[in-house]
Structure 1
Amino acid sequence: MTRMAGLFSAWAMLLISIMVVITLPCNAAQPLDDETAKIVSGIEATYAQKSFSADFEQTSRLTALDVTETAKGKAWFSHPGKMKWAYQSSDNHEIITNGTDLWIYRPEENQVMTGDAAPFFQSGSGGAFLADIRKIREAFTIEPDKSGENVAQLVLTPKKETPELAKVRIMVTLPGYEIPVVETENIYGDTTKFIFTNIRFVPFDEQIFEFTPPPGTEIIEMDR
């Protein structure tokens, strides 16, 4: 496996980690100061139960090896917990979930990793926070970070930490309450940063969250 493929496989596992954090039982949502509560409410109003797509640029850094890789592509999200990430780089691949099943498809290797996502999504009730923004208050401790007139930043700390996900930092535009930047960090200090552009809240064919392997594709079952 190439170094870049290793980084992006790690990102697939990070997606699963976010899903696990969101579906684990958590304490009641924390009380927020007025300004932070206003920002979170604005995010919820913008994203909750809506479908959207965006172009993205990804920068992944492995701190211990001092390795940084970049990629770009397009992503689609739909409530609850449906996502598709289509990478357009030297390591073209797709990460797809309908909230129940998960596929990681590498066409150049003629290979797809597939698994039952139910243990991660609890029968589809959860997903990465962009695909089910309503979970953000329950799954994370939310703290304000540096903010300006047209932008706010929040630090999200999982209430149930996993090795793959220790912290999430998001940038929020004001007054539109869109999220153009998401940066995740694991317990080792490795980071993955996404910059989202062309964010569009428009309906699309949700068949894109389903995947049928082309004939002859090697199918690898992931551990349950």
Structure 2
Amino acid sequence: MKNWKKNLSVLLTATFLSSTAHAGAIDALKKFNQDADGLSGNFTQTVQSKKKNQTSSGTFQILRPGLFKWDYKSPYKQTIVGDGANIWLYDVDLKQVTKSNQDQTIGDSPAAILSNKSALDASYMLKEDGTSGDIQYVLATPKRANAGYQYIRIGFQGDKLAAMQLKDGFGNQTSIRFNGVNTKPNLSRGAFKFVVPKGVDVLSN
């Protein structure tokens, strides 16, 4: 299913970490994690493995607690929706929907930050990690040895989330750039209700 679980975990983690102007990156990150109720914008994601690099892009919408929607536009069309109880993955090319329990799918992965404001402090050790150009970074290191990630670097540009870099347990590296980030989107809960398209097979995990 085109690494959708990895996409979900990486993207949902990155999207809920931002900052406020003139604050230290860690303090700003924690404040945003505590205060943010919604987020929307665009993303470009590149996954680098030993065999190949793959770049994808799309849009996202998030409404706390626990509601999210990711629309991959390129190079393939795919939608991931979390409605608070289930996660729905719609692969347009395969004409297939996969339904899974949201709590079980997210587990204690970085994506848990979406629905649990205490997950950041509970699951990660944080430290300032310098700057590159005009982007300031925080290094988040998982406290559990089997978390699946070696580290996550979250980058901020002014008061906006700008970038994220992640290295998983297999050495694969993922880089994400964000633009058009809106920290006060006008979102309703109804926008996160997934309706299965006609003629599409539904699989359950």
TM bucket by the smaller chain?
A: 0.7 to 0.9
Q: How many residue pairs end up in the alignment? A: 192
Q: How is 1:39-188 mapped onto 2 (pairs within 5 angstroms)?
A: 39-47=25-33, 48-63=35-50, 65=51, 67-120=52-105, 127-129=111-113, 134-147=118-131, 150-162=134-146, 164-174=148-158, 176=159, 178-188=160-170
Secondary structure at 2:93's aligned position in 1?
A: helix
Deviations along 1:126-173, one digit per CA (max 9) or x if unpaired, are 944366565322210112212279532111111124363221111022
Residue 68 (structure 1) shift = 0.2
TM-score of the aligned structures, taking structure 1 as reference length:
0.74
Take 2:49 and 2:133, find their aligned partners in 1: how far apart are those partners?
A: 33
Is the 1:61–1:191 Cα contact (8 Å) retained in structure 2? yes
Given residue 217 of structure 1, which amino acid in structure 2 is its aligned partner?
V
Is the 1:100–1:121 Cα contact (8 Å) retained in structure 2? no
Q: Where does the alignment leave 5 or more consecutive residues of structure 1 unmatched?
A: 19-36
Is the 1:75–1:86 Cα contact (8 Å) retained in structure 2? yes
Confirm or deny that 1:220 pairs with 2:203: yes
Residue 184 (structure 1) shift = 1.7
160-169 or 46-55, larger mean C-alpha shift: 160-169
C-alpha change, 1:152 and 1:98, in structure 2 (3 Å) is: same
Aligned to 1:192: 174
Residue 185 (structure 1) shift = 1.3
159-168 or 87-96, larger mean C-alpha shift: 159-168
TM-score of the aligned structures, taking structure 2 as reference length:
0.80
Take 1:17 and 1:45, find their aligned partners in 2: how far apart are those partners?
A: 17
Secondary structure at 1:179's aligned position in 2?
A: strand
Take 1:167 and 1:113, find their aligned partners in 2: how far apart are those partners?
A: 29
What is the percent sequence identity of the aligned residues?
18
Given residue 183 of structure 1, which amino acid in structure 2 is its aligned partner?
Q
Q: CA RMSD in A?
A: 2.9
Higher fraction of strand = 2
Aligned to 1:211: 194
Residue 115 (structure 1) shift = 1.0
- Larger CA Rg, structure 1 vs 2: 1
